[in-house]
Amino acid sequence: MLLVIDRKETTVRYTTGALRLERPDEPAKTIPIQMLEQVVVYGNPLVESAVWRALADAGVPAMLVDVRGKQQHAFISSGLATTLPLRRMQHRCADEAGKQLSVAAYCVQQKLRSYTLPLQRLQTLYGISASRTQAFQQQVAQTLLKLPNASSINSLSGLEGQVAAAWFALLAETLPQWGFTGRNRQPPRDPVNALLSLGYTLMLGEVRHAVLHAGFDPALGFLHQDYPGRESLPLDVLESFRAIVDAFVLSLLHSAHLDKDSFYYRDTEGCRLSKAARPVFYATWANLRQHCPRPFADDAGSDWPHATLSEIINGQVMRLREQLKSVDNQENTA
């Protein structure tokens, strides 16, 4: 169950094994923690500190969203798992340039392969021309061939950035009615960017939880370099799942559940999803969490094209672990 708290007059308390939501002039609601999979909090409701401890103990990730986009979103979850050998291997691979480059190339490869999913949505929902689709697919294929020859993290980032720019140019051609001309972040200028930013943030929370649960050091990435105050490894893994968010946004905009009145615009805040429209977004997101398309056509078990989002993310995190083992063993035996 996805719990969204977006009314500032809400008070959230912890009772034995459950959360109690209290609002003026409404009966209190009690939700067992064992039913919760993720908690999203907007604005500044009153939440007892015992709530955060209980959610962390139960392994339920929580995300604090700043409504106006002036502050960074915050993530709350349990601490690192006690898997010291895994973290040592992660640090070995990150500390040696050749190993780091191999793992970073793997992260880019996974992202490029995942474009198949949103590209299918463009074809089936928006009728994009076959020639335009083929041109993008050819660019992806050519870039995949170049990855093994990349000599640095910067060159890998450049290759990935070229494909990302082509992808967002393709979206701009497809979604002009939404005022989308390209990807921007702070603040988002149009409804498409507003939905992408929110979706990427929610996905990052899911990915971060899986990375921590697996026992990785979240601060140490491969494609994303060390930066004060940033957890780089979840950003590495997130690259594989941006395509799911892109496909989600394409489907949501095509569904007619949202229109231009579902968003508001302020000079300082940019474009934001309105409070009235948030239930539509989160109901659709909750459905995605339970019935998520696999981002890769050749995933193990792909006879089942859908799974829960957590299953897909956990599977990708485990594949990253196996990739680290492979890189570490190859380098150690060379």
129 and 58 within one domain: no
Place of tokens 């291997």: 89
Amino acid 58: pLDDT: 85
320 and 186 within one domain: yes
302 and 222 within one domain: yes
- DSSP letter for each residue of 144-180: HHHGGG--SHHHHHHHHHHHHHHHHHHHHHH-GGGT-
pLDDT category of residue 24 using cuts at 50, 70 and 90: confident
104 and 67 within one domain: no
160 is in an annotated binding site: yes
224 is in an annotated binding site: yes
pLDDT (mean) for 70-75: 69
How far apart (Å, rounded) are the C-alpha atoms in residues 160 and 105?
10
Looking from the CA of 4 toward its CB, the CA atoms found within 13 Å total 16
275 and 210 within one domain: yes
Average pLDDT, the chain: 89
Q: Please check the confidence at residue 8 and state whether its pLDDT lies above 90.
A: no
% of the chain surpassing 90 pLDDT: 62
57 and 91 within one domain: no
Structure tokens at 217: 């050091």
Q: From 49, 76, 103, give the residue that closes a domain.
A: 76
% of the chain surpassing 70 pLDDT: 93
322 and 291 within one domain: yes
pLDDT (mean) for 41-48: 85
Instruction: Name the H helices within the chain.
Output: 49-57, 84-95, 97-114, 116-126, 130-146, 153-174, 191-214, 232-238, 242-254, 278-290, 309-333
182 and 37 within one domain: no
- Helix 97-114 and helix 130-146: axis angle, to 10°? 170
User: pTM (2 decimals)?
Assistant: 0.88
Helix (H, G, I), strand (E, B) or coil at 19: strand
Q: From 76, 101, 134, give the residue that closes a domain.
A: 76
192 and 114 within one domain: yes
Q: Please check the confidence at residue 67 and state whether its pLDDT lies above 60.
A: yes
pLDDT (mean) for 215-231: 87
- Residue 99's nearest CA partner among 137, 38, 153 is 153
Segments forming the whole domain that contains residue 211: 84-333
Amino acid 45: pLDDT: 86
174 and 112 within one domain: yes
State how many domains the chain has: 2
Cα angle: 298, vertex 223, 39; to 5 degrees: 75
Q: CATH code at 314?
A: 1.20.120.920
Which positions ≥6 away from 260 have C-beta within 8 Å? 178, 191
26 is in an annotated binding site: no
Q: CATH code at 60?
A: 3.100.10.20
71 and 92 within one domain: no
**For residues 103 and 90, is the Cβ–Cβ distance under 8 A?**
no
Q: From 44, 60, 76, give the residue that closes a domain.
A: 76
238 and 194 within one domain: yes
Q: Please check the confidence at residue 304 and state whether its pLDDT lies above 80.
A: no
pLDDT category of residue 332 using cuts at 50, 70 and 90: low
Instruction: Provide the edge-to-edge strand list for the sheet that holds 46-47.
Output: 29-32, 18-22, 11-15, 46-47
